[in-house]
Chains A and B, each alone.
Chain A
């Protein structure tokens, strides 16, 4: 069912319509939260909180953007808050991680794109992503994991197209810079 119809039903007091909305977007929102927070339990709590916030803010949704970019904006702000608090408690540095797990990172980068990742890989991915600044993590998640278009990203991040492109470029450059040693070794 169309989002607009479901929202109208929720406004009319039909709470079951909101369960449809949650059902429809739970996977994508959970993926966003996991990519941002690297902890499944925390991500689940965050995603639920986003749906609760969205429910009580639904009156303020004016339909100027699509519903899911509006929902993503709430999720992005919430995850950024949580991720910033978490990054203050960070214990490992890039240099430490590269020194301790350099060989594993190299192996992961050399894996064929279709090869499934195991639990150890997932853990390493989380450790590496957790070291990126939360803003970079968010923009990379929206673009590369969620597959949002630049226009959708302007709505979610509430900024201009030029700002989105420049932030995305900086995030990619920073990520590449951190892993330059492994990429050079592979002659990429």
Chain B
């Protein structure tokens, strides 16, 4: 069977025509988007500063709040439990042992 078999030529014309396809920018854009989405994480200085600096700042602020707040409440609780009362100047009024 060769390329010029008339029976085959009929089949080819009927069933093996190139499908109509229009090139589109959307297709190209979608391919590039998929490539971008699958890129493995790579360390570089700019991404470090973009993510690490704000994260570090937020964490520092959070640590500061956490470290200050419990101390104040612990002090008040300890005084209450110990029966210590302070006057308006902060001097000890009585100690109830």
Contact = CB atoms under 8 A, between A and B. Distances in A.
B14 A35 contact: no
B31 interface: yes
Interface string B16-53: 11110111100110111011001000000000000000
A55 B34 CA distance: 11
B21 to A, nearest CB: 5
B35 A145 contact: no
Contacts of B35: 15, 18, 51-52, 55-56
Interface stretch (B3-11, B62-70, B74-82): B3-11
Nearest to B36: A15
B56 interface: no
Interface in A6-25: 15, 18-19, 22-23
Contacts of B34: 48-49, 52
Q: Name A's interface SS.
A: helix
A23 B16 contact: no
A48 B27 contact: yes
Interface stretch (A81-89, A91-99, A108-116): A108-116
**Which of B15, B23, B32 is packed against the most chain A CB atoms within 10 Å?**
B15
A31 interface: yes
B57 interface: no
Interface residues of A, number: 42
B8 to A, nearest CB: 6
Contacts of A175: 11, 15
B59 to A, nearest CB: 33
A129 B13 contact: no
Interface of A: 15, 18-19, 22-23, 26-27, 30-31, 34-35, 44, 47-49, 51-52, 55-56, 108-109, 111, 113, 117, 122, 125, 128-129, 140-141, 144-146, 169, 172-173, 175-176, 179, 183, 186, 188
Interface of B: 1, 5-8, 10-19, 21-24, 27-28, 30-32, 34-35, 38
